[in-house]
Structure formats: C-alpha cells, structure tokens
Amino acid sequence: MAYTTSDEQLQIEEIKQWWKENGKVIILAVILAIAGVFGWRYWQSYQLSKVHQSSANFSQILAATEANPTADNPQLTQFIKENPDNVYATFLLLDKAKSLVDAKQWEKAAATLTEALGNTKDAALSSLISLRLANVQTQLKQFDAALATLNKVSEQAWQGRKSMLMGEIYYAMGKKEEAKKAFETALTTANPLEAQWLQVQLNNL
C-alpha cells in the first residue's frame, strides 16, 4: 500500500496528541534528572567541605590541647557539641583523656572517656575506649564499674587485654579463683612479653 500525505498528516497529529498528553511529564523528568545530578554534586561538595573544615578544626584544637593538656578547652567543648557523631570529636576526647591519665587526673579522665564512649557507634573504637575507661576505673578502685565497662569490649582483637585487666581487677578484689581463670584465658592469646607477665601473676596467686 502506498504511503500518502494523509497518512503522514495522521501520524503528525498522533505525535502532537501524544506530546500534548505526555510532554510535560517528560520535561519534568528531564528537569528532575538534571537537578538530581547537580544536587548530588552539590551534596558531595558540601560534605567534602565539612570534612575539610572538621579536619582543620581538629588540628587547631589538638594543638591547643597539647599545649595545655589538662586545662578546660572551650573550643573542644563547642566542637564536640556541634559534632557529636564526628570521629574527630572522639579522637580529641581520647587525646585529652590520655593527657589527663598522664597527669594522674583519674576522675577527669574517666569523665572524658565516658563522653567519648557515648559519642561513638563504631564497635572497634568503642571496645578500645571501654578498655581504657576500665583501666582508669581500676585506678579509682571502682572495680564493679570497671568489670561492667569491660563487658562492652566486644572486638576479638582486645579480648586478651580484656582478660588481663579482669584478672588484675579480680586479684585486687581478693577473688583469686576468678583472677586465675582470667589470667589463664589471657595466656591463650598473649605475646611472649605478656605471657611472661601473666605467668608471674599466676605464680603469685
């Protein structure tokens, strides 16, 4: 069958009708797609800018903390308040706690580590902080609290250190049988230096 001008006209009319019904939807979809691309790029740029700013603030606050490690730092307090879930805030608290431990300010160190523990959702970091906090609580002779804190140490990499500290705590509490079990558990994963220390503790029981 020959293709006629009327056929062509009919097709044009069908296209016009289809465009009338669907054109706005197509244009909107294209606009949204373009906006999505630019929006995603803006979001990436914004996030990157936040990371750079956090890094700069971290370096500045860290330098101030190291210059006067045991003093209260308003910048640190403000940074943590504004960035509670930021890993930089957790690292700053850990650094401050270390300075307080070095200065034997155990109460302040415990409070700082407790704050750091509440700020992180990372299991590995949480285990490390819990181990350090339990050490400080042991220094404060808060033995029950230290044992409770050690229960939060879930990462396998820290189980040996956890058992060693539990042994020390039980020994300080006069619970020699529990101390022995904890030291023997620690001995199964200990390095040579730790094994030597643990054997001395077991011999003293």
Interval 5-23: pLDDT, tens: 454 555 555 555 555 655 5
* Cβ contact 145:137 at 8 Å: yes
How many CA atoms lie within 13 Å of 179's alpha carbon, on the beta-carbon side? 18
Q: d(Cα 79, Cα 95) in Å, to the nearest integer?
A: 14
Q: Is the confidence at residue 97, as pLDDT, over 50?
A: yes
* Overall average pLDDT of the 135-140 stretch: 95
* Cβ contact 113:126 at 8 Å: no
DSSP3 helix / strand / coil % (the chain, rounded to 5): 80, 0, 20
The confidence band for 43, taking pLDDT boundaries of 50, 70 and 90, is very low
**Short-list 82, 81, 76, 68, CA closest to 94:** 76
* Overall average pLDDT of the 19-48 stretch: 49
* Cβ contact 162:136 at 8 Å: no
Q: Is the confidence at residue 60, as pLDDT, over 70?
A: no
Q: d(Cα 83, Cα 86) in Å, to the nearest integer?
A: 5
* Overall average pLDDT of the 68-87 stretch: 65
pLDDT confidence of residue 72: 64
Percent of the chain with pLDDT over 70: 59
pLDDT confidence of residue 144: 96
**Short-list 196, 177, 185, CA closest to 150:** 185
CB under 8 Å to 100, separation ≥6 — which residues?
A: 69, 70, 106, 108, 109, 112
Predicted confidence (pLDDT) per residue in 138-189, tens digit: 999 999 999 999 999 988 888 999 999 999 999 999 999 999 999 999 999 8
Neighbours of 69 (CB within 10 A): 16
Q: Is the confidence at residue 1, as pLDDT, over 60?
A: no
- CA dihedral sign of residues 193, 194, 199, 201: positive
Amino acid at 167: G
| DSSP 8-state assignment for residue 73 | -
Q: Is the confidence at residue 112, as pLDDT, over 80?
A: yes
Q: Which domains does the chain show, CATH number per domain? A: 3-154 (1.25.40.10)
> Whole-number mean pLDDT of the chain?
75
Q: Is the confidence at residue 37, as pLDDT, over 50?
A: no
* Overall average pLDDT of the 67-85 stretch: 64
pLDDT confidence of residue 204: 86
> How many residues are there in the chain?
205
Kindly report the pTM of this predicted structure: 0.65
